[in-house]
Chain A
Amino acid sequence: MNVSISNTSEKPIYQQLFEQISAQILKGELESGYCLPPIRQAAQELRVSVITVKKAWEELERCGLINTVTGKGCFVAEFSSDEMLRIRNEMILNQMEIDISYYKSFGLTLDEVIALLKKIY
């Protein structure tokens, strides 16, 4: 697992943690059954507060990406490719919403956005 945290980013740190880990799970870099480090150990290693890690792990669990086994730790969940697609799309849509509001602030139409997207994609 690879995580890099920016203290200067506007994004809350738990959000950064959640996004990076969930992306790695959805891309298949972290396989199901992979054991996440214990919350307090992760906090110490990442130099963030315990609660920050706790929140990120909780968010991962809420999205069904990891399972907590009491006394053993947190493990990457097993899911079907359908579920994976659904979770992935949900995350992409969240990001798009943010981007779109930026484009809208310039008054771009959907066609204009698509044309520009094609240019750089």
Chain B
Amino acid sequence: MLALDIRNVNKQYPSFQLKDISFQLEKGYIMGFIGANGAGKTTTIKSILNMIHTDSGEVHILGRNIAEYELELKQEIGCAFGGNDFYNRSKMKTLTDVIKKFYKNWNDETYANYLRRFKLDENKKIAELSTGMKVKYSLALALSHGAKLLVLDEPTSGLDPVARDDLLDIFQELVVDGEISILFSTHITSDLEKCADYITFIENGKIIASSEKDEFKESYRLLNGAESQLNQVKERLISYKINSFGFTGLIHSRDFEPTFDIKATIPSLEEFMIYFAKKEDTHV
């Protein structure tokens, strides 16, 4: 069963557009959503949650169309946005009391557990929280109403390494039963190297690739060779850089032939993102 099924979503803005966005997330797995700033991650997430009107395309969550069953489905979705701004002058406690009324399956005990785990004091005002604490607070809210799908926009940004590690631990705990699915966008690719099952990469409003993590990485190669070898592959490289030790460049596996006699490694997600961003530069 698919937790999330996005098909051919288009949205045109004056200076940006989502072009034919399609990807699927199977139930019980974690998908990392990566892309540079302004690539369309948040816009895509907003269209998943029916927070913007798309021009065309469909989003199905847990088998149902979000446009038709928005109210029912939102009970089953937990979402959190990195730069979330709540009403600043209230205490967390006051806000939670307002928010929990919207959820049929709200669980006070779960909520209290997360507050403890995140070391959050309910009597603090939102204005007094650090960035990381705000993220944790919105996660505690997202996790406390029995959501089956978590859609999280940059949940790890602003968190210190210990808190990030703890959060990833929670993600893995949540998917152990195979019931809960998680889609989260991030810049911190090391988070994904560890726990993501699938990776979806968006660039300039288009999905470049969406597949199982190792398969994703193995469909690219990072080449490392002498400058004299560069001409041999230059045309096929997605992007490259040269220094006094030779050149390094990213290539699609299908364009690479072992006969080239150039050292080829599987790129990390970070390397992948960096070289893809360089490609943009060369076009400008």
**A interface residue numbers (CB < 8 A to B):** 7, 10, 12-14, 40-41, 43-44, 47-52, 55
Contacts and interface: CB of A to CB of B under 8 A. Distances in A.
Q: Is the interface of A mostly helix, strand, loop or mixed?
A: helix
Contacts of B173: 44
Contacts of A47: 168-169, 172, 194-195
B178 A40 contact: yes
Interface of B: 28-30, 168-169, 172-173, 175-178, 190, 193-198, 212-214, 218, 265-266
Given A10-B266, A40-B177, A43-B172, A48 B195 contact: yes
A44 B176 CA distance: 7
A14 B198 CA distance: 15
A50 B194 contact: no
A12 B175 contact: no
A28 to B, nearest CB: 30
B186 to A, nearest CB: 14
B214 A14 contact: yes
A33 B195 CA distance: 29
Which are the 5 A-B pairs with shortest beta-carbon distances?
A44-B172, A51-B197, A49-B197, A40-B176, A44-B176
B214 A50 contact: no
Give the interface centre of B29, B30, B172, B213 by most chain A CB atoms within 10 Å: B172
16 contacts: A12-B266, A40-B28, A40-B176, A40-B177, A41-B176, A43-B172, A43-B176, A44-B172, A44-B173, A47-B172, A48-B194, A49-B30, A49-B196, A50-B175, A51-B212, A52-B213
Contacts of A48: 194-195
Nearest to A51: B197
A40 B214 contact: no
A55 B195 CA distance: 14
A75 B203 CA distance: 44
A41 B178 CA distance: 11
B28 A49 contact: no
Contacts of B266: 10, 12
Contacts of A44: 172-173, 176
A51 B29 contact: yes
Nearest to B28: A50
Contacts of A12: 214, 218, 266
Contacts of A41: 176
Nearest to A49: B197
A52 B176 CA distance: 14
B173 to A, nearest CB: 6
Contacts of B197: 49-52
